[in-house]
Amino acid sequence: MRVLVTGHEGYIGVVLVSLLREAGHDVVGFDSCLFKDCTFGSDPLPVPLIRKDVRDAATSDLEGFDAVLHLAGISNDPLGDLNPECTLEINHRASVRLAELAKQAGVSRFIFSSSCSTYGAAGDDLLDEEADFNPVTSYGVSKVRVEQDVARLADANFSPTFLRNATAYGVSCRLRADLVLNNLVGWAVATGRVLIKSDGTPWRPIVHIEDISRAFVAALEAPRKVVHGQAFNVGITEENYRVRELAEIVRETVPNCRIEYAEGAGPDKRCYRVDCRKIAKVLPAFKPQWNARRGAEQLYQAYRELRLTLDDLEGAKYMRIQRVRRLQEAGRLDSMLRWVDQAAAEKDNEDRISNVSVNCSMSPV
C-alpha cells in the first residue's frame, strides 16, 4: 500500500517507518520536524517527506494514498498542559480536519494513534474498549474528541480505526525520556537511583514502541470489515504494572542502584489498567514481542553504550517539554508551536536529510 505517516520523525514514527518499509509498503512522511535535533544514536531512516504542520494539511497532500497513519500531535500530558488550547487545536481540531481531508481525497483507511490515557482516572478495574472515558488531562481529552468526531466520518468508502496505545517505552533514535520506564532506567544508569516521581501506586499499562508499530501494520493489513470503526487497546493484558513494580524491575536490571522517591512525591490521578484481549483475538497478526523486563534491559544497554548523563535525560534533547521551551526562549517557536522562521527550518531539514548515511531501524528481538 501507499501509506502516509504523520509524525513519522517522532519517537514511535521512526520505528513504524522501518517496519512498514520492511513489510513492503510505500511510505511517505508528514512532519513539522520539531524534534529533528533530538537524535539518540543513529539518524532515522530517510523517506520522502512532506514538511508541514499538520494544521496546514491540504487535500492535495493526501491524494493517491491508500491509508493515513496519524501519529502527529502534542505527545504527552506535561506538554499538553503547557498550552491546553494549542493542544486541542493540534491534537483535536487538526486531526479531525486531516481525517476529513483524507476522506475527500479518496483515502480508504485512516488509523489514528489514540491512547489509553482516555481512561484517565479509573482505579484498579481492568478496562476493555467498552469502558467509559474519564480523561484528566488536555492530552487525554483531545484523544477522546478525535475518536468521537472521526468515528462519525465512517462510511462505505472511509474506514477509521483507533489504536489506544498503552504507555510506550523502548529505544528509538527519537528517544523520549519523559516516559515512565525510559525515565526510571535513565535515572538508574545516570545516577544509581531509580527515582519514582509519584507515590508509586498508580497503575500503568505499558507497551514497547516496536509492538505499537506492529499493531499499526496489523490493522493496516487486516480485512476492512475487521477494523472498520473499531477501537483497540494496544498492549498485553499482563503488562499492567504499578509504578513501584516497574521501579523494582529496573532495580533488578541495572547493577548497584537503589529505589528512591522524589521529594514531595504524591499520588498521580492518572491511574488505569487495560484489557488487551480484543486486539489479540481480532488481529491475530499482531504478535507483541516485548515485556517490561526485556525493555528495561534494552534501555540499560543503549544508555550505557551512548553514555547517557542526567543532563541528557532531563534536558531539552530527550524531554519534549524542555525542547519546546528552549525553542520558544530562542525565538524559534511561537506560543502555538509554530516555527517562527519556516524557511530556515526547512533549509535545516534539507541539509540534514542530504547528509544522512545511517538509519534508525528496529532492534533485534
Comparing 36 with 54, the larger pLDDT belongs to 54
Which pLDDT score, from 0 to 100, does residue 84 have? 85
Residues contacting residue 259 through CB under 8 Å, at least 6 positions apart: 193, 194, 196, 244, 247, 248, 251
Distances from the Cα of 50 to the Cα of 30, 54, 267, angstroms: 5, 10, 42
> Which set of grid coordinates corresponds to residue 112?
489514528
Which pLDDT score, from 0 to 100, does residue 356 have? 36
Which pLDDT score, from 0 to 100, does residue 235 have? 98
Residue type, 213: S
pLDDT at 336 over 60: yes
pLDDT at 26 over 90: yes
Task: Give the dihedral sign, CA 246/250/256/262.
Answer: negative
Task: Give the dihedral sign, CA 239/130/4/138.
Answer: negative
**Is the whole-model pTM more than 0.75?**
yes
pLDDT in tens, 187-223: 999 999 999 999 999 999 999 999 999 999 999 999 9
Residues contacting residue 219 through CB under 8 Å, at least 6 positions apart: 111, 161, 163, 227, 232, 283, 286
pLDDT at 360 over 60: no
What DSSP state is assigned to residue 90? I
Mean pLDDT, residues 175-193: 97
pLDDT in tens, 67-95: 999 999 988 656 667 788 898 999 999 99
Give the domain ranges of the chain.
2-175+208-239+270-289+324-354
Which pLDDT score, from 0 to 100, does residue 358 have? 34
pLDDT in tens, 121-163: 888 899 999 999 999 988 999 999 999 999 999 999 999 999 9
Share of the chain above pLDDT 90, in %: 81
Q: Decide the pairing of beta strands 240-242 and 203-208.
A: antiparallel
Which CATH superfamily, name and number, covers 2-175+208-239+270-289+324-354?
NAD(P)-binding Rossmann-like Domain (3.40.50.720)
* Distance separating alpha carbons of residues 71 and 51, to the nearest angstrom: 15
Mean pLDDT, residues 339-343: 77
Q: Decide the pairing of beta strands 159-165 and 193-196.
A: unpaired
Cβ atoms of 177 and 313 within 8 Å: the answer is yes
pLDDT in tens, 255-299: 999 999 998 877 788 899 999 999 999 999 999 999 999 999 999
Task: Enumerate the H helices of the chain as residue ranges.
Answer: 13-22, 59-62, 77-82, 84-87, 95-104, 138-151, 180-191, 209-221, 224-227, 243-253, 277-282, 292-305, 310-314, 320-329, 342-354
CB atoms within 10 A of CB 363: 16
